[in-house]
Amino acid sequence: MTININTRAELKSSLSAAGSNPVLIHFSAAWCAPCRQIEAVILELVKTFPQLVTLQIEAEEAEDVAELFQIESVPTCVLLLNEVQQFRIDGVNPPELTQKVTEFCNKHKAPVQAPAANTLDPELNARLAKLVRSAPVMLFMKGVPNSPKCGFSRQIVDLLQTNFIQFDSFDILTDESVRQGLKIFSSWPTFPQLYIDGELIGGLDVVREMVADESLFSLVPTEAKRARLEQRLTKLIRQAPMMLFMKGSPDAPKCGFSREIVGLLQAQNVKFGYFDILTDEEVRQGLKQLSGWPTYPQLYIDGNLIGGLDIVKEQIQDGSFSEIIPSEAKQK
């Protein structure tokens, strides 16, 4: 598993933990597409050589670390053994990287070291054990969600928030004992760190991969799942001033009730957003509970439920519907 490094101290800690295992450092940048190619190559190398420790450093965010190795461009890969440079490859050259790492690892088959034992002070150990369980989903980061203090923390907050995963956080910059102790407690030398039900999930890269393959959501506790769904639905019903949840789309309704309410709204010459509930069972079932309305279609104005087809039809007939149409929804 590749470890993200942000500071010289984290680099030193990771190199020390590597012992006599070879360490491959990849200097990269988020905007650099060729770096993704190198990441894929490294992933395959680790599968072949489990003794290979891999570190990834965002060269622009960790400038002081990049300066140590005189990094002038990305991607750049450096292989170390016992903190001594063995070779370096500047630029994109997957065949050369594969060949050199393979030759080196076959020649230097150092044993994989076991993680260091937890040697924390019992009082601190107990405090950390309580902290990682202080919320169903707990993030240890630099800064706070509204004001992250590093790029990796900012990215993991964005991932959790955009996927509507409710979490609490702890700013490790405010407590050095927690910052250093958690590295030993979890055998994970970098931050951010995400915990679910007190168990370490990992850092940014792990969380990003688990969001991409959707495996993270199955680990989210029921309490946090409910909050996540409510946040998602609340955002959806306010996606447009007038929002219709229907079967199908306005151009291709999939049931008679949806077809009829679309016709009514179009006859009123109003603009409205829509969501096809047939494409998302979570939304389809969740919105019934959130609104207390068991059927579809459902019409919302400014995030408030108006009702289904019969309610809208009655309001149009008695003239009250025109009074609640938001100005943004009126066709000019």
295-326 tens-digit pLDDT: 999 999 999 999 999 999 999 999 999 999 99
Residue at 167: amino acid letter: F
Does residue 32 have an active-site annotation?
Answer: yes
C-alpha separations of 227 from 38, 219, 231, 234, 253 in Å:
38, 14, 6, 10, 31
Q: Which amino acid is at 69?
A: F
- For the chain, percent of residues with pLDDT exceeding 70: 95
Q: Which of 32, 77, 105, 150 is catalytic?
A: 32
280-290 pLDDT, tens digit each: 888 898 899 88
**The pLDDT of residue 118:** 53
| CA gap 135, 132 in Å, rounded | 7
Q: Which residue has the tokens 């050369």?
A: 96
Question: Does the active-site annotation cover 105?
Answer: no
Q: Tell me the mean pLDDT per 10 residues along the chain, length 332.
A: 88 89 94 89 89 93 90 94 94 90 82 52 92 94 94 92 86 94 84 92 87 83 73 91 96 95 95 94 87 94 95 95 90 72
pLDDT in tens, 203-255: 888 888 888 888 888 888 776 667 778 888 999 999 999 999 999 999 999 99
- Rounded Cα–Cα distance for residues 177 and 174 (Å): 9
Q: How far apart are CA 201 and CA 207, in angstroms?
A: 7
- Which stretch of DSSP H or E encloses residue 198? none
Q: In sequence order, what are the residues at sequence separation of 6 or more whose Cβ sits closer than 8 angstroms to the Cβ of residue 195?
A: 132, 133, 137, 138, 139, 140, 201
Task: Please state, in angstroms and rounded to a whole number, the distance separating the CA atoms of residues 297 and 244.
Answer: 7
